Amino acid sequence: MVNKDLSVTLCGIRLANPVVPASGTFGFGLELADTFDLNVLGGISLKGTTREARYGNPTPRIAECSAGMSNSVGLQNPGIEALVSDKAPALRKIYRGAIIANISGYSVEEYAHNCARADACPDIDILEVNVSCPNVHGGGMAFGTDPASAAAVTRAVRAVTRKPVFIKLSPNVTDIVSIARACEDAGADGITLVNTFLGMRIDIRKRRPVIANKTGGFSGPAIFPVALRMVWQVAHACSIPVMGCGGVRRAEDVIEMMMAGATAVQIGAENLRNPMACPEIITALPALMDSLGIDSLQEIIGII
């Protein structure tokens, strides 16, 4: 088989391949370090981080679905200081790929504070600003479903960092393009699409919701076609790169996302089902590319 070029360039940062575990499905990377060599990954998006440590939402907070899962973890994390002083430096000691800090907040000021702290950490390469988490009250998705609010967060973050800023958007909107354009106009370097959809499961025997928070973020294979459509829309409406995410579980899905316009592709819920999902996808890509007559992944980005 002819050697294939899996590399991509994201805001001037070279990734050995486009495969990136999505935030919230891979911890801080260190948790999987004994499972496989992390250096096969193009990048790692770390667990969502807030200013203060959070214990997350009450349990139960996971519900199985026929073609995916719903979760309401609620941004459980050790806080921004632990990220920049401990988690990111420890990961950098064993990982040479792109480290992506996923930043959350409850106010524009908190987003800016957290991003300023992440900017000062030399072990972090990219900031992924999460304005789309559906499982916290008063933050996250409250900023990402309105163009003006999303732009306000983007401007505040852009003012405190020189690192690439990706805004992670919610699919729970009627017009994803207007929000993505507002973020681009406010200084975003890229867009991550998409976070989870709002979902719900009910235990009919107990006559109450399965998840203590009642609703949760729905992810998994069922959302792939909708996520793909949103990636295609935004990639062709904006001039900044897109990281595609949502229901990706195999090499063919990665190719679809890239053809729709994604430069890199995040794998989320599939990591929870199969911790070896990312390396398996990366291993499968060269043979799939060969069968499709693709020599370099960069040549197919946005061809649809």
Residue numbers annotated as active site: 133
Q: Which residues contact 172 (CB under 8 A, 6 or more apart)?
A: 134, 141, 145, 197, 198
Instruction: Determine the distance from the C-alpha atom of residue 52 to the mean position of all C-alpha atoms in its chain, rounded to a whole number.
Output: 21
Q: What is the CA radius of gyration of the chain?
A: 18
SS3 199: strand
With contact defined as beta carbons under 8 Å apart, do 40 and 50 qualify? no
Please state, in angstroms and rounded to a whole number, the distance separating the CA atoms of residues 71 and 218. 7
Q: How far is CA 78 from CA 27, 50, 75, 139, in A?
A: 11, 8, 10, 17
With contact defined as beta carbons under 8 Å apart, do 129 and 153 qualify? yes
- 215-219/208-209 β-pairing: unpaired
Structure tokens at 243: 């990281």
With contact defined as beta carbons under 8 Å apart, do 157 and 128 qualify? no
